[in-house]
Amino acid sequence: MTIILAAGDMHLAGFFQERLFYPNAQPGAGAMILAALVHVALLGAFFGLPAGVFIWAERKISGRIQDRLGPTRVGGRFGWLQTLADGVKLIQKEDLAPAAADRLLFRMAPYIVVVATFAAFIVLPFSDGWVAVASDIGLFLILAIMSLEVLGVILAGYSSGSKWALFGAMREAAQMVSYEIPMAICAIIPIIAAGSLNLGEIGQMQSGWFFANWLVFHDPFTFMAFFSYFVCATASCKRAPFDLAEAESELVAGFLTEYSGMRWSLFFLAEYASMFVVSGIAVLLFLGGWHIGIPISEVTTPAGKYFLNLMGMFVFISKSSLLVFVQIWVRWTLPRLRIDQVMMTCLKYLIPISCFLFFGATVWPLLLSAIFGRTTVFLDLVDKNTIRSSVSSRIDRIPGRSMMSNSDTLQPMSVDATLIVKRSE
């Protein structure tokens, strides 16, 4: 699916078609495959490098929290290349599979998890317009694709043929599936404020002076939703204090018990990449995306735009890394929850809290428009009409739309209070 979504970027495919193949034709298979390969290579770099850096960061930070040094030997005083050394060690290990294991499923399970996590990078925008596939339902796609990880975990646990693995996998699957619900609800709360599922648009909407337009400060419900989302995201990444799957003191290693060498490292690559993805989503939805609070006005030169986008990408990666740092910090600070406490937290606390926040976020614009006559507390410092007009031009693409006679009287419909306000006039 990576290939189809990446090959949907017709601009890059058209570029290749112009330069390498017959120009002035629809991009054929060759150009699309080249475009897809470029995207895959870039995203592969983004998938592997954060994981490598975060593994090193985790060991260093956990060391410092536990009053020791962490890796200090490989690559200088701070052990920069420790991850590389670990990777080399893991690659040259023997490829074991237990005798009682189901061969096909044992081999397939790490790939399912890696594919699920990697495919989420496709719709993640790193800067303004820097996204592999600018999908109009980006957030929904990410939630859908990341729900595939559960299947990889279950198959890994079952096919290992050992009871520790099976118990760990069942607990883990129950936890991940349960936490998808409050995570999705809390992810939708800023969507109510923003009015679009397109992650690129949500990022663009949060430009402006300092933090006034960041969706975390949009209303008190999104503020609380940020923390709730972060807790659910930590749980769905199987990180402590919710890491029953890898509970070293209880289940040997949970569903990873029988995995060694490269397959084990694939699981961990996927875990750190999914930590980055959920942090990236939190940054995009709540913390302003790639903006740092200084609105830089129209820069017309392509080089200037490129430089600004590059800065934006570094800002985005730094913010996501900050959230990953918070996840690492929480892991080594808090004790682990029991499985019944994990499920109770989800079902008895987080789901009612997220439902209440959802209801509040829906009612808030109505309340504000009744009291103040406008729907946001801060004045719109970004011309939201330009974003809305681009949205309404996409409404014209609804099939059959051009069969209508008076298409220019259609108001841009957004699913927030303005629609209801307009209808009541």
Partner 1 sequence: MSGEHVLFSLFAISTCASAVAVVVSQNIVRMAFWLIVSLGSTAGLFFLLHADFVAATQMLVYVGGTLVLLIFGVMLTASGPYLRLKIPPGQGIMAAGIGCVFLAMIFVTVVAVDWNETIVTPDGFNEPGAGNTARGLGLSLLGFRPDKDLGAADGSLSTGYLLPFEIISVHLLVVLIGAAYLARAKRRVASTDTEN
Partner 2 sequence: MGEIGLKPYLLVGAVLFVTGIVCMASKRNGIGVLMGVELVLNGANVNFVAFSRYTALGLDGQIISLFVIVLAAAEAAVALAIALNFYNNHLTIDVDRGNELRG
390-419 positions binding partner 1, by CB under 8 A: 391, 394-407, 409-410, 413, 415
Measured at the CA of 168, the angle between CA 166 and CA 170, to 5 degrees, comes to 70
How far is the CA of 299 from the CAs of 73, 96, 295, 309, 413, in angstroms? 46, 56, 11, 11, 30
Q: Could you say whether residue 143 binds partner 1 (CB under 8 A)?
A: yes
> Least distance from C-beta 401 to partner 2, angstroms?
10
Least distance between partner 2 and beta carbon 269 (Å): 31
Helix (H) or strand (E) holding 263: helix 262-285
Distances (CA, A) of 298 to 212, 219, 302, 305: 20, 29, 11, 9
Q: Which of residues 147-166 bind partner 1 (CB under 8 A)?
A: 147-148, 150-151, 154-155, 158-159, 166
Compose the 89-118 pattern: x for residues touching partner 1 by CB under 8 A, - for all others. -------------x-xx--x---x------
From residue 182 to residue 221, the character string flagging contacts with partner 1 as x (rule: CB under 8 A) and all else as - is ---------------x------------------------
Spatial separation of the C-alpha atoms in residues 380 and 363, rounded to whole Å: 19
Q: Of 1 and 303, which CB lies nearer to partner 2 in the complex structure?
A: 1
Q: Which is nearer to partner 1, 249 or 409 (CB)?
A: 409
- For partner 1, the binding residues in 241-260 under the rule CB under 8 A are none
Count of CB atoms situated within 10 Å of the CB of 138? 25
> If you ran DSSP here, which 8-state letter would residue 410 be given?
P
In the three-class reduction of DSSP (H, G, I as helix; E, B as strand; rest coil), residue 130 is classed as strand
The answer to whether 180 and 236 are in contact (CB under 8 A) is: yes
Question: Among 6, 8, 324, 328, which residue sits at the site for partner 1 (rule: CB under 8 A)?
Answer: 8
Computed on alpha carbons and rounded to an integer, the radius of gyration of the chain in Å comes to: 23
Contact track, partner 1, 25-44, x by CB under 8 A: -xxxx--xx-----------
74 binds, among partner 2, partner 1, none (CB under 5 to 8 A by kind): none
Q: How far apart are CA 208 and CA 297, in angstroms?
A: 10
What's the gap between Cα 158 and its chain centre?
A: 27
Write the DSSP assignment of 301-351 as a string of letters.
SHHHHHHHHHHHHHHHHHHHHHHHHHHHHHHTTSPPPPHHHHHHIIIIIIH
**Position among 61, 85, 177, 326 found at the interface with partner 1 (CB under 8 A):** 177
Kindly list the distances between the CA atom of residue 264 and the CA atoms of 121, 271, 294, in Å, as whole numbers in the listed order. Answer: 21, 11, 43
Within 13 Å, how many C-alpha atoms sit on residue 238's CB side? Answer: 28
Q: How near is the Cβ of 421 to partner 1 at its closest, in Å?
A: 15
- The answer to whether 136 contacts partner 1 (rule: CB under 8 A) is yes
Structure tokens at 184: 């999705």
Q: How far is the CB of 190 from partner 1 (least distance, A)?
A: 16
**Contact flag: residue 23 with partner 1 (CB under 8 A):** no
If the CB atoms of residues 10 and 330 are measured against partner 2, the closer one turns out to be 10
Contact 118, 152 (CB under 8 A): no
303 binds, among partner 2, partner 1, none (CB under 5 to 8 A by kind): none
Q: Does 1 bind partner 1 (CB under 8 A)?
A: yes
Nearer to partner 2, 76 or 400 (CB): 400
- In the list 82, 135, 175, 345, the residue contacting partner 1 (rule: CB under 8 A) is 135
Positions in the binding site for partner 1 (CB under 8 A): 1, 3-5, 7-8, 10, 13, 26-29, 32-33, 102, 104-105, 108, 112, 135-137, 140-141, 143-145, 147-148, 150-151, 154-155, 158-159, 166, 170, 173, 177, 180, 197, 391, 394-407, 409-410, 413, 415
